[in-house]
């Protein structure tokens, strides 16, 4: 950690390489520590409690390491154009913040003592704030960053209050004190406090309003890191709390499931109407947090009803989705960043035809899209499959209300999957396929190999988990059984691994079929004539790229269905019936985040209006302020005289 301060001292050109080595060193060290925890001796037993990671922490450490390493590799290429524009101090602050974000995340998953946990949490918030405002010359970016920082501190407040309440009863402020507190008092209040605090970080709706602003404002490797790993710290916190809950388990599970279903469906619905590529991806992170929450929620419900299968499959699915999401979300953000770097616009409606100019980026984005929609044979399918399996297996033995709950979850998951396909065909298709929709695309070129390698690594991991799911699910299931105390032996000896290995075989057969049919096709095309021509235009001679579908038109039939819920604003002057030669018209749609406007903007505006009314008291003249102080002292005197105070 001390070495990181060295970043400030070195000359500007070598700073990046130095940071790279530093990060890799730390990654290597912590990975070894995570994989072989028994090798660690505890060097500082007094300062930090528990630096020996348990299985959950090890899992998260490996996750953090992989994505941080790839994110930092990627940022090497991404930040190159900014090298000359940014001052030396800004550059080193950015790199330094990267290192500290990484350190703080590792500390968050390692520490259990309340105060040190909160310090690490705060460190994480501050360092990510510094990373987000990299382009602080743009006033909006600075404002977004400050909004983010404020929301993180609100979350910190909730966590502090929760820790203090639990600590007062048990005398120990920290995660370990929770068990003692929960056995004696009602679990719900403190759990809700924790859920709110961690939920703001994770991005559950309606606590999510910082996410869609912060992710587009930050540079892409930072967005990838934040979306892939940092918001999972919220999930980590919730799971840590779940280790200790003793009573009210059913209601807690219901709360988690309810918020997650809501976040999942609303998140992807709001993603569909966005036309900024990174905002779209940010809303998708909210949706995936919803899916993770669904897994965890049904796991908790399984704990409440004593249904071992549901518990294990739910938690395993949720945890595996944490890993999967970090992989494919970082992949998607990296490639979105490459697109931005090449075309200098994030607006989907201005892109198009990039598949020809940036073939590798397009291919990686496609892999990421397929994985995020949960399509086989990639990893997203495996985690969603586990959740489905848990739901379906629990149907026969559940009561009436529980069956209805399971039914609603099933419908919700199916809807989320379908909506995600709707959204990502738009994102991939309109950005990379078809013809260019504006001049921004003309100078786009493929990015450097250095920027492609992290995508390659992530894609390899995605495919590996998708095809070789058995090896990945087993350790995750062990973690799940630790959380819930359920015994996985029944599932292990049962047909679960047979099921997973058969899925892998089926996936393999599918890939084999693709190869076979493609070979047949190539053979066939060699024997026959292949010609090219323009796309069929139904006889329109003046058709051009403006007649293609844009992101807004793609989302239109969906948003007209969902209008009461989404509130997209449309401003247009319609062409009248008798308008034979209409003048030029203007059409504008703008997606609106209803939660932001109703929950955040309205109260803030009301508060500002109130403050404006009493602003007359700030006259700037010191005599008036002394008068105020004197009046206050008089008031205190009067109140004490009448014994009110």
Partner 1 sequence: MVGIPLILLAAFFFPGIILRTKSIVSGRKGPGVLQPMIDIRVLMGKGSVYSTTTGWVFRIAPVIGLATMLAAILVVPFAKMHAVIPFQADFVFFSYMLALGKFFMIIGALDTGSSFEGMGANREALYSMLIEPAFLVLMGTFAMLTGFTSFSDVFTAFHLSENPIITVFGLIGFYLLVQIAMIENSRMPIDDPKTHLELTMVHEVMILDYSGFDKALIHITTAIKFAVYGSLICSSLVPSDWHPGYQILLFFSIQAGFAIIIGLAESFHARNKMQKNAKFILTLTAVAMLAFLVVLIVTNKLII
Partner 2 sequence: MFYLLIVLFAGTLVYISTSERFRSYAKLIAVQGVLLFAIALMELKTLDLGNLIFVSAETLIFKSIVVPYFLFRIINTTKVYKVHPKAFPSFYSLLFSMVGLIISIILSDVLKNPSLDAVFLMIALFTLYTGVLLIITHRRIFSHMIGFLVVENAVFFFSLAVGSEMPMLINIGILLDIFVSVLIIGVLMNRIGTQFSDLESNNLTSLKH
Q: Name which of residues 334 to 393 contact partner 1 (CB under 8 A).
A: 352-353, 355-356, 359, 366, 370, 373-376, 381, 384-385, 388-389, 391-393
Report the nearest approach of partner 2 to the CB of residue 301 (Å). Answer: 17
Report the nearest approach of partner 1 to the CB of residue 97 (Å). Answer: 38
Binds 429: which of partner 1, partner 2, none (CB < 5-8 Å by kind): partner 1
Binds 498: which of partner 1, partner 2, none (CB < 5-8 Å by kind): partner 1
Binds 472: which of partner 1, partner 2, none (CB < 5-8 Å by kind): none
Which of 13, 399, 609, 621 is close enough to bind partner 1 by CB under 8 A?
Answer: 399
Verify binding: residue 634, partner 2, rule CB under 8 A. Answer: no
Cα–Cα distance, 423 to 285 (Å, whole number): 13
Q: List, as own/partner pairs, every contact residues 242-247 make where C-beta atoms lie below 8 angstroms and the sequence separation is at least 24, other chains included.
A: 242/296, 242/300, 242/483, 243/175, 243/179, 243/483, 244/175, 244/178, 244/179, 244/182, 245/182, 245/187, 245/191, 246/179, 246/182, 246/183, 246/187, 247/182, 247/186, 247/187
Binds 514: which of partner 2, partner 1, none (CB < 5-8 Å by kind): partner 1
Orientation of helix 232-242 relative to helix 188-202, angle to 10°: 160
- Indicate the residue among 145 and 290 with the shorter CB distance to partner 1: 290
Q: What is the dihedral of CA 324, 326, 327, 328, to 10 degrees?
A: 90
Binds 1: which of partner 2, partner 1, none (CB < 5-8 Å by kind): none
Footprint of partner 1 on residues 413-442 (CB under 8 A)?
414-415, 417-419, 421-422, 424-426, 428-430, 433-435
Cα–Cα distance, 172 to 113 (Å, whole number): 8
Footprint of partner 2 on residues 407-436 (CB under 8 A)?
408
- Indicate the residue among 251 and 433 with the shorter CB distance to partner 2: 251
- Indicate the residue among 87 and 532 with the shorter CB distance to partner 1: 532
- Indicate the residue among 202 and 406 with the shorter CB distance to partner 2: 406
- Indicate the residue among 155 and 290 with the shorter CB distance to partner 1: 290
Report the nearest approach of partner 2 to the CB of residue 566 (Å). Answer: 13
Q: How far is CA 417 from CA 17, 30, 280, 413, in A?
A: 41, 35, 16, 6
Report the nearest approach of partner 1 to the CB of residue 168 (Å). Answer: 44
Which of 564, 569, 642, 644 is close enough to bind partner 2 by CB under 8 A?
Answer: 564
Residues 6+ apart with CB under 8 A from 325: 228, 232, 285, 288, 292, 372
- Indicate the residue among 89 and 565 with the shorter CB distance to partner 2: 565
Residues 6+ apart with CB under 8 A from 122: 156
Alpha helices (H) along 187-243: 188-202, 211-217, 220-225, 232-242
C-alpha distance across the termini of the chain, in Å:
51
Footprint of partner 1 on residues 479-518 (CB under 8 A)?
495-496, 498-499, 502-503, 505-506, 509-510, 513-514, 517-518
Verify binding: residue 638, partner 2, rule CB under 8 A. Answer: no
Verify binding: residue 401, partner 2, rule CB under 8 A. Answer: yes
- Indicate the residue among 401 and 581 with the shorter CB distance to partner 2: 401
Residue 276 has, within 13 A of its CA and on its CB side, a CA count of 14
Report the nearest approach of partner 1 to the CB of residue 496 (Å). Answer: 8
- Indicate the residue among 404 and 608 with the shorter CB distance to partner 2: 404
User: In this structure, what are the phi and psi dihedrals at residue 276, rounded to the nearest 5 degrees?
Assistant: -95, 125
Q: How far is CA 196 from CA 119, 155, 263, 388, in A?
A: 18, 7, 14, 27
Verify binding: residue 400, partner 2, rule CB under 8 A. Answer: yes
Cα–Cα distance, 319 to 56 (Å, whole number): 9
Verify binding: residue 50, partner 1, rule CB under 8 A. Answer: no
Verify binding: residue 35, partner 2, rule CB under 8 A. Answer: no
Report the nearest approach of partner 2 to the CB of residue 400 (Å). Answer: 5
CA R_g for the chain: 27
Rounded to the nearest angstrom, the gap between the alpha carbon of residue 85 and the centroid of all alpha carbons in its chain is 29
Of 60-68, 127-135, 519-527, 629-637, the window that binds partner 1 (rule: CB under 8 A) is 519-527
Q: How far is CA 476 from CA 55, 306, 345, 496, 633, in A?
A: 9, 20, 40, 13, 63
Verify binding: residue 533, partner 1, rule CB under 8 A. Answer: yes
The site for partner 2 (CB under 8 A) is made up of: 400-401, 404, 408, 561, 564
């Amino acid at each position: 950690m001390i070495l990181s301060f060295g970043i400030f001292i070195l000359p500007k050109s070598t700073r990046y390489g130095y940071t790279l080595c530093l990060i890799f060193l730390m990654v290597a060290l912590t990975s070894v520590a995570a994989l072989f925890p028994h090798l660690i001796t505890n060097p500082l037993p007094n300062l930090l409690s528990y630096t020996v990671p348990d299985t959950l922490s090890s899992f998260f450490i490996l996750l953090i390491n992989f994505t941080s390493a790839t994110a930092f590799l990627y940022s090497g290429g991404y930040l190159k154009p900014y090298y000359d524009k940014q001052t030396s101090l800004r550059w080193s602050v950015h790199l330094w913040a990267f290192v500290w974000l990484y350190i703080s995340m590792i500390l968050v998953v390692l520490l259990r003592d309340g105060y040190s946990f909160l310090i690490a949490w705060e460190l994480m918030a501050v360092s990510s704030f510094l990373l987000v405002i990299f382009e602080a010359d743009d006033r909006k970016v600075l404002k977004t960053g400050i909004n983010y920082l404020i929301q993180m501190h609100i979350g910190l407040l909730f966590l502090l209050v929760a820790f203090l309440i639990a600590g007062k009863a048990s005398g120990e402020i920290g995660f370990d004190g929770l068990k003692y507190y929960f056995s004696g008092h009602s679990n719900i209040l403190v759990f809700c406090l924790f859920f709110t605090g961690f939920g703001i970080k994770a991005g559950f709706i309606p606590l999510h309003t910082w996410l869609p602003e912060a992710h587009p404002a930050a540079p892409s490797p930072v967005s990838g890191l934040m979306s892939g790993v940092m918001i999972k710290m919220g999930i980590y916190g919730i799971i840590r709390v779940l280790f200790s809950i003793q009573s009210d388990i059913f209601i807690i599970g219901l709360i988690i499931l309810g918020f997650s279903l809501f976040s999942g469906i609303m998140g992807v619905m709001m993603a569909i109407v966005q036309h900024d590529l990174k905002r779209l991806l940010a809303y998708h992170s909210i949706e995936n947090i919803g899916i993770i929450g669904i897994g965890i929620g049904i796991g908790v419900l399984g704990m409440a009803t004593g249904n071992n299968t549901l518990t294990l499959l739910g938690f395993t699915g949720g945890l595996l989705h944490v890993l999967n999401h970090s992989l494919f979300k970082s992949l998607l953000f990296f490639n979105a960043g490459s697109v931005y770097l090449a075309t200098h616009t994030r607006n989907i409606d201005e892109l198009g035809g990039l598949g020809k100019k940036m073939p590798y980026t397009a291919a990686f984005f496609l892999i990421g899209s397929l994985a995020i929609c949960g399509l086989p044979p990639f990893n997203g399918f495996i985690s969603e499959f586990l959740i489905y399996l848990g739901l379906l297996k629990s149907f026969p033995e559940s009561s009436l209300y529980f069956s209805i709950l399971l039914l609603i979850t099933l419908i919700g998951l199916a809807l989320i999957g379908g909506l995600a396909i709707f959204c990502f065909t738009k994102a991939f298709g309109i950005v990379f396929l078809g013809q260019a929709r504006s001049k921004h695309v003309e100078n786009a070129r493929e990015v450097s190999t250095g920027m492609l390698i992290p995508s390659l690594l992530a894609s390899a991991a995605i495919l590996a988990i998708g095809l070789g799911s058995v090896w990945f699910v087993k350790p995750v299931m062990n973690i799940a059984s630790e959380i819930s105390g359920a015994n996985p032996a029944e599932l292990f000896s049962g047909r679960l691994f047979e099921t997973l290995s058969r899925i892998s075989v089926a996936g393999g057969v599918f890939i084999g079929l693709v190869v076979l049919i493609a070979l047949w096709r190539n053979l066939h095309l060699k024997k026959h004539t292949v010609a090219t021509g323009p796309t069929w235009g139904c006889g329109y001679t003046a058709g051009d790229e403006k007649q293609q579908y844009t992101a807004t038109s793609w989302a239109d039939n969906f948003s007209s269905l969902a209008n009461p819920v989404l509130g997209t604003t449309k401003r247009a002057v319609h062409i009248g019936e008798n308008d034979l030669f209409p003048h030029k018209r203007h059409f504008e749609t703008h997606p609106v985040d209803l939660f932001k406007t109703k929950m955040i903007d309205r109260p803030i505006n009301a508060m500002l209006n109130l403050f404006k009314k009493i602003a007359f008291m700030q006259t700037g003249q010191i005599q008036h302020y002394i008068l105020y102080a004197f009046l206050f002292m008089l008031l205190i005197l009067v109140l004490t005289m009448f014994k009110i105070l």
